[in-house]
Amino acid sequence: MRPSIREDVTVPSTEPAKPNRIFARQLYDGMSPHMRADQVIDIADGRIADIRPATADDARDHAMPEFDLVTPGFIDLQINGAADTQFNFDPTPEALRRIAAGAREGGTAYILPTFITAPQRDYVRALEAVQTAITQGAPGILGVHLEGPFLSHMRPGIHDTDAIRSMDAEDLDRLTAARGGVLLLTVAPENLPVGALQRLTAAGIRVFAGHTEATADQMAQAEADGLVGVTHLFNAMSQMTGREPGVVGATLASKGLFAGIIADGHHVDWRNVATAARLLPDRLCLVTDAMLTLAGQLTEFELHSETIELRGSRLTNKTGRLAGAHVSMIESVRNMLDYAYLGLPDALRLATANPARALGLEGEVGSVRPGYRASFTCLTQGFDVAAVITDGLLYHAPG
């Protein structure tokens, strides 16, 4: 057993270190159903250079950070805010850095900051902010998730119904010309103009169905046209009935669609969560759908002229309608262990390899392999976050 890292080499959480290697007592690599014990991961230029069994020389390297459990860095496909910062309220590169930092407290290495339905073409500000943040090297920003405004008035959730609208030619031009990481676009496919979905997906946009009343047949056509997933499975979508599978049934029966799911105990019954995990083991993705209260001090805020309050772990408006979530990625993984009865590798896959594949980034992130980006979620034996490493930068957990 190698000795614990000395206190005098601990790096303050405000100053990320750049270790050239880390030690994992247990390593989940994102691929194997089993853990690997006593592994050293060598890092060079923000990439994984090698993964190898620890040697006696490694045991003498007291400056090497060591962790009880190392996994690929968690990836959150849907996060609206954190650290008292909401992307819609402040679509700037500085806000994205704060949100990414708040997400790291819950073990997240990478985020798709999510900009929800807003008037007209306000989403362009979000696209520009993300492009600038990535150009500036802001850690942990993979791209952007636009959730709306091209949704169904039948399934608005907490979105501003006055701003929900149809997609037009100018929208198509702007979206297909967008640059700056991955663009994930949530739409109601039944409301898209003819040919729009094919054009969006041909431009490399990852299109998900959400806030939609689509039938199973409409979902099948959308999937044939390039749809790759659904946003927060079970929520704000047509449900499965005996003679109409709806979006839920179409997703569970699909051989290819990915699905985000909010595993907070409020959005989806745990029996449905467990069913989805069993049917979509390689395509279900944990998402937080977190709002600005995550890793923040605020307990209420205004959204579309409504007051949203945090009560316990539940965010609602005055009528009790859910308004985003207050859950971290590490809490979501724990919930899959406790309530969906998954084994540890299966639960971790939902936060790592699956979302990487959903974004088409499985050759870069989501697994621990030589050549991949050196990004890891580092956990304690008690399954708390010890540190997050993003592209070779190590951030210790607060406290």
51 in any annotated domain:
yes
Residues 103 and 65 in one domain: no
CA 75 to chain centre: 4
Give the whole-number percent of the chain exceeding pLDDT 70.
Answer: 96
**Domain assignment present for 115:** yes
103 annotated as ligand-binding = no
SS3 338: helix
* Runs of H (alpha helix) within the chain: 56-59, 93-104, 123-135, 169-177, 196-202, 216-224, 246-253, 270-279, 329-339, 344-349, 353-358
Q: Mean pLDDT, to the nearest integer, of 110-128?
A: 98
Q: Is the same domain home to 249 and 271?
A: yes
Query: Crossing angle, helix 329-339 and helix 270-279, to 10 degrees?
Result: 90
- In this structure, what CATH number is given to the domain that contains residue 32? 2.30.40.10
The predicted pLDDT at position 15 comes to 76
- Residue 239, domain member (yes or no): yes
Q: In the structure encoding, which two tokens stand for residue 10, read together?
A: 């601990």
Residues 6+ apart with CB under 8 A from 56: none
Q: Is the same domain home to 15 and 131?
A: no
Structure tokens at 123: 């989403």
Are 133 and 172 members of one domain? yes
Report how far residue 204's alpha carbon sits from residue 43's, in angstroms, rounded to the nearest whole number: 30
- Asked whether residue 261 falls in the same domain as residue 304, the answer is yes
Q: In this structure, is residue 290 part of a structural domain?
A: yes
- Three-state SS for 115? strand
Instruction: Say if 2 falls within a structural domain.
Output: no
Which amino acid, 94?
A: E
In terms of domains, do 55 and 103 share one?
A: no
Q: Are residues 40 and 141 in the same domain?
A: no
* Structural domain count, the chain: 2
> If pLDDT is split at 50, 70 and 90, which confidence band does 14 have?
low
Task: Calculate helix-pair angle for 270-279, 246-253, nearest 10 degrees.
Answer: 40
What average pLDDT is seen over the chain?
95
36 annotated to bind ligand: no
> Do 220 and 155 belong together in one domain?
yes
351 and 385 assigned to the same domain: no
Comparing CA positions, the residue from 170, 220, 163, 210 lying closest to residue 193 is 170
Q: Is 158 annotated as a binding residue?
A: yes
Q: Does 144 lie in the same domain as 24?
A: no
Do 337 and 294 lie in one domain? The reply is yes
What's the pLDDT tens digit per position in 63-80?
A: 999 999 999 999 999 999
Q: Which residue has the tokens 């990625």?
A: 329
Q: Is the pLDDT of residue 28 over 90?
A: yes
Per the domain annotation, does 322 fall within a domain? yes
**205 annotated as a binding-site residue:** no
Decide if 146 is inside a domain: yes
Mean pLDDT, to the nearest integer, of 219-239? Answer: 98
Residue 294: which of 306, 304, 305, 308 has the closest Cα? 308
**For residue 8, pLDDT beyond 90:** no
| Among the listed residues 348, 353, 305, the one whose alpha carbon sits nearest the alpha carbon of residue 329 | 348
On whether 232 is known to bind a ligand per the annotation, the reply is: yes
Q: What domain range is 29 assigned to?
A: 7-72+366-396
324 and 387 inside one domain: no
CA pair distance 190, 199, nearest whole angstrom = 15
Q: Output the DSSP codes for 11-46.
A: PPTTS-B--SEEEEEEE--SS-SS-EEEEEEEEETT
Whether residue 208 lies inside any domain: the answer is: yes
The torsion region of residue 176 among left (phi > 0), alpha (psi -120 to 50) and beta comes to alpha
Show the DSSP H helices in 246-313 as ranges: 246-253, 270-279
Position 98 confidence tier, pLDDT thresholds 50, 70, 90? very high
Q: Give the pLDDT band (50/70/90) at residue 61.
A: confident
Name which of 6-10, 158-162, 190-194 the model is least confident about: 6-10
138-163: b (≥16 Cβ within 10 Å) or e: bbbbbbbbbbbbbbbeebbbbbbeeb
Position 56, amino acid = A
Q: Pick the catalytic residue: 289, 338, 346, 384?
A: 289
Closest CA relative to residue 392, chosen from 369, 376, 368: 376
CATH number for the domain that contains residue 325:
3.20.20.140
Establish whether 68 is a catalytic residue: no
